[in-house]
Amino acid sequence: MPAAGDSGTGRILPLVLLSALAGLLLAGLAADAPGARPAPAVLLRAGWAAVLLPALLMSCLPSLAAPSRMLPAVLALPHVDALSLPFLLVLAAIGLATAAPGTKPDTALACAGLTVATGQPLLCCLGAASLAALLRPAPKAAPCILAIALAAALLPSAWRDAALPLPVLVAAAGLMGLSLLPFGGARHTEPATPRDLAGLVAGACFAVRMLADWPSTPLATPLAAPPAAFGGALTAAAGLLFALAGGLRALAAPDAARALGGMLAAWGGLALALAGLAAVGRADDLPLLALGAFRALALLLGGVGMALLAAILLLRDIGQAAGTLALDRAGGLAGLMPRAAGLLALSLAGACALPPLAGFAAFWLLLHAVLALPRAGVLAGEIPPLLALCGAGAASGLLLLAALRLGTGLLLGRPRTPRVAGAADPPSARLHVPLACLGVAGAIGLLPGAWLWLTRAAGWQAAGLSGAAIPVGAQPGLFALAAPGGGGAFNPAGLALLLAAAAGLVRLLAHRAGAAPSRPAPAWAEGAPPAPPWMPFGDPATQAGPALFAGRLDGVLGGARATRAAAWRAARAARRTGRTGRLLADRLSDLAARHAMKLVLLWFALAALLHLWTRP
């Protein structure tokens, strides 16, 4: 009896999907040629719809994504398995959202789709290397490509589990655009684009496949499990460090696009941490832990990814209307662009892990996955999970502060320049796509069970579960999320109803009290009086600016400013000392070159005197 994957539908759907992705890649390469015209938006949307619909069908029926035994070996090599489908769905949604009239096909987006769709190790590594070359400049892409080549060479090696995590870290960080440099501002943080979001999705897929889905040796052997678990823990720790660095860069970025780029980097670090936790759970024979970590990763990519995509598209329109996204020049856009500002506020709420949205659910699953980690009963075994919890909490706080700083500096207060004062809402047709992205993010946040049901086969594959070995706790519910360690459940829809009831009660009490404000003023003006004639844009000292929350962070940390100043003084003193030493060495070498013969004669004279003095 043939398997379910051997049916005609199971044979044709992966071929249709890969053919559509290959066509999009060829269209993007043709559009990159000089003098090429943009492709019609209808064709681009049709191509991404041809990717989205088979991926949805294979997600609903996981047996269709099983490798077919009736296909020839050449066609069965690039098969699309269940683990590829969640990443493909997110990439197809990004492609549909960015296929606007007058735009060219994005080669990097199609290459990311082909990379994550291929369930074969060598082809995935080749696609990741080509994607790194498309996303990053040559000096930044070179270490990533070398790490991908080393990872591909380690795949059949017996030392794979012990040596692979380091090149996987370098490769995933290169694909995601991660950096450990905090407070980089404009130097180390690029403005967020849909291509960066595609790189995040592809990097997360690469890390999950390398660390959990393609083990070369059985993890049940006593020599393979400890290196694999250590590699997953190393990846999780590095991901938390990347998340903290990205949050700090978002808090110090000078404009809204770079602040959003820092937030994207912070979420990329958290995705890398979740991939490491999934590898730890699979290596330690804890399938529910690995499944919980992968579910958190799926919620991050689906819910938070769509919110970030909406914010990227909205900032593009706001920048065109206001002329600038610099936080010290823009302001007051909540009154000038109310519809775009409202959608941006909602997207930032989804991108900073506010409850009950998908970002908060991902953090909740991450914390419970850390609590479910196996550890020794001594104090030394409790310190790593405690540090991981502290790192996750600090990353969440930095994301919240960065989103609050971005929203207040861009939307509240008064306009700071005449160009910003003339901004207006874009046409309603341009807001439909960000609104649809926010609708998808809200649906995933309030009903996570539907998204987890679509990605259930991918989670089982990442956790090493199959067939009758799937336990009852591995089946997702429609409304509630179960903790990986069985320590509770989270119901975002119930929490949303509770918050709505509290907001309605507050509004009812305020209406019954009938208290009028002492000075009527629009909310986005922060209660400030009308501006005087000699200061049409208001007093800058009374407005929310880019240094508002970054300065408050120093006060919260207590002494961080003095410590940073002392570090800068020590660095400047070290540079001055180095310059003085180099200058002195140059002077001495110059003097020696000029007076070489005199120095030789002087040395002979001193040696002769010393010989005469010491002679008995």
Both structure tokens of 279:
């590898």
Helix (H, G, I), strand (E, B) or coil at 326: strand
Q: 453 with 86: CB under 8 angstroms?
A: no
CA dist 364 and 374 (Å) reads 18
The H or E element spanning position 540 is none
Q: Is the dihedral of CA 333, 334, 339, 342 positive or negative?
A: positive
Evaluate if residue 261 carries a pLDDT over 90: yes
Residue pair 81/119 in contact (Cβ under 8 Å)? The answer is yes
Decide: 111 and 130 in contact? Cβ < 8 Å.
Answer: yes
Give the least confident one: 560-569, 574-583, 602-611.
560-569
Both tokens assigned to 467: 């067939």
* DSSP tag of 489: E
Percent of the chain having pLDDT more than 90? Answer: 30
Tokens of 325: 């996204």
How large is the average pLDDT for residues 195-202?
A: 94
The reported pLDDT for the residue numbered 302 is: 93
Identify the H or E element spanning 481: strand 481-482
Flag whether pLDDT at 220 surpasses 60.
Answer: no
Residue 526 pLDDT greater than 60, yes or no: no
How far is Cα 285 from Cα 465, in angstroms, rounded to an integer? 10
Q: What is the DSSP letter of 523?
A: G
Query: Which residue type sits at 194?
Result: P
Could you tell me the pTM of the whole model? Answer: 0.84
Which amino acid would we find at residue 247? Answer: G
Is 184 in contact with 252 (CB distance < 8 Å)? yes
- Residue 537 phi, psi (nearest 5): -100, 15
pLDDT tens digit string along 348-405? Answer: 999 988 888 888 999 999 988 888 877 666 666 678 888 888 999 999 999 998 998 8
pLDDT for residue 550:
56
CA distance linking residue 16 with residue 88, whole number of Å: 14
User: Using one digit for the tens of pLDDT, what is the confidence trace for 430-466?
Assistant: 999 999 999 999 999 999 988 999 998 888 888 888 7
Work out the mean pLDDT of the chain and round it to a whole number.
81
Is the pLDDT confidence value at 408 over 50? Answer: yes
Tokens coding 590: 């110059």
CB 262 within 8 A of CB 179: no
pLDDT value at position 609?
A: 73
Distance CA 194, CA 91 (A): 10
pLDDT beyond 80 at 11: no
The three-point CA angle 521-523-528 to 5° equals 50
Residue 190 binned pLDDT confidence (cut-offs 50, 70, 90): confident
**What DSSP designation does 416 have?**
S
Per-residue pLDDT for 5 more than 50? Answer: no
For 487, other C-beta atoms within 10 Å of its C-beta total: 10
Tell me whether residue 510 is exposed, middle or buried, using C-beta atoms within 10 angstroms of its C-beta: 0 to 12, 13 to 18, 19 or more.
exposed
CA dihedral 14, 17, 23, 29 (to 10 degrees): -100
Between CA 381 and CA 385, with CA 382 as vertex, the angle to 5 degrees is: 105
CA 449 to chain centre: 23
CA distance 266 to 109: 21
Q: Which of 66-75, 90-99, 332-341, 464-473 has the lowest mean pLDDT?
A: 66-75
Per-residue pLDDT at 222:
40
Say how far apart CA 155 and CA 158 lie, in whole Å: 8
What mean pLDDT is predicted for residues 274-300?
A: 89
Question: How is residue 443 written in tokens?
Answer: 């649906």
Q: CA-CA distance, 464 to 290, in Å (whole number)? A: 9
The domains of the chain are located at 120-465+481-500, 560-614
